[in-house]
Amino acid sequence: MLTAFGKAFRRYRTGTGLSQERLAVKLGVTTQYVSLVELGRTRCTFEFATAADEALEVGGDLQELWKDLVMDAAYPTWFDWPTVEADAVEITAYGLTVVPGLLQTPAYANAILHGDKEAVDARIRRQEILRKNPPPALTVLLDEAVLHRAVGSKEIMREQLEYLISVVGPNVTVQVVPSSGEHGGNSGPFVVATLEDRSEVVYVDSAYRGLTLSEPEALNAVARTLRELRSLALPMAASVELIRRTVEERWT
């Protein structure tokens, strides 16, 4: 259904002579997002379909197609993140309370997901992108509290933190952000995916559900927070030493 909607969307766009780039500017989204909609690889919102309908002047056709094809599609609007993540050339993740999924060990993920095997397997499969050739450049910023927050047993925490130390290398950076109640990162964890065309998509987590965002306002807000977090983060060598010391003093 998403593919059918995407093909119709593309026909309307090309029929007006607009490129993906020009339409993206009109709608305030990235070119990559327009491409994902046309490929049927994301379930766009009704608001997006309405704005596109007006921009392409198709008299409500896209709104009706959205109701017929997208509204009852199998996945919610935010479920496109694994697709975006897999296409990224750079990924920057900030973990406020737990280690981000791409660097979780199976035991750590199992504890967080309360033994839901299907969910754990899906999370671990996402890590296959780190074994691509070439892999995406991954930067993980961790609030220092993550090192001390118990997830599962002492053995699980020790294994997880030792794993963080082991994966640091040319394509994986791990830095610790000293705990503070005074920076923008306290609003919650997020991930920024940079795609090959240098466009960016953000995934923001919440208690209700995750949100995949590409609007300029959202990207600017996350970019400001990311600059602040990077300015506060310990250098990588100091971060690794802090993680190692935490393992010895708290989890051994």
CA 38, distance to chain mean position in Å, is 21
pLDDT (tens digit per residue) in 130-141: 999 999 999 999
pLDDT digits (tens, 9 = 90+) for 167-215: 999 999 999 999 877 888 998 999 999 988 888 889 887 766 677 777 7
In the block, which residue shows the tokens 């394509």? 171
Q: Which range has the worst mean pLDDT, 51-60, 81-90, 144-153, 219-228?
A: 81-90
With a cut of 90, say whether residue 122 has pLDDT above it. Answer: no
Candidates 1.25.40, 1.20.272, 3.30.870, 3.40.190; CATH matching 80-250: 3.30.870
Q: DSSP labels for 186-242?
A: GG--EEEEE-TTS-EEEEE--SS--EEE--HHHHHHHHHHHHHHHHHSPPHHHHHHH
* Per-domain boundaries in the chain: 2-75, 80-250
CATH, domain 2-75, list 1.10.260.40, 1.10.760.10, 1.50.10.100, 3.40.50.300: 1.10.260.40
Mean pLDDT score across all residues of the chain: 90
